[in-house]
Amino acid sequence: MPRKLDPVARRAQRNRSRLKKAAGDRLRLSVFRSSKNISVQLIDDAKGVTIAAASTQEEAFKKTGAKTSSKEGAAAIGKLIAQRALAKGQKRVVFDRGRYLFHGRVKALADAARESGLDF
């Protein structure tokens, strides 16, 4: 007998299923946010592979000097993933906020990625 999902998991599943239907041939920019860090992946759902990724735990971020759990840190990650996506030739993506509200660090990451050249 299948178990019911908790409301947070249901929200993430609902959001992700809508995105996959509307995405077409675009890649998915998926965000994971914890209390101390934020990470983002550029995923090709058709092939099931990750094209590019960025996190506050890697050395490229630590050189920026931004705090990991701040909006400035999230903006730095947004710029970093945009640079990596453009280097791979990917400009058009669909933004997957998952279970998180589009507010605070998630919004700062999205705005920085848009300013750096990603189209979503």
**Residue pLDDT, tens place only, 54-93:** 999 999 898 888 899 999 999 999 999 999 999 999 999 9
In a domain, 27, yes or no: yes
In a domain, 2, yes or no: no
Regarding pTM above 0.75, the answer is yes
The encoded tokens of residue 102 equal 């589009």
In a domain, 1, yes or no: no
**Residue pLDDT, tens place only, 37-46:** 999 999 998 8
The CATH code of the domain that includes 84 is 3.30.420.100
Residues 6+ apart with CB under 8 A from 117: 82, 86, 91
Domain count, the chain: 1
In a domain, 107, yes or no: yes
**Residue pLDDT, tens place only, 96-115:** 998 899 999 999 999 999 99
Supply the range of the domain harboring residue 37. 7-115
**Residue pLDDT, tens place only, 54-63:** 999 999 898 8
H-helix segments, 2-70: 7-23, 59-62
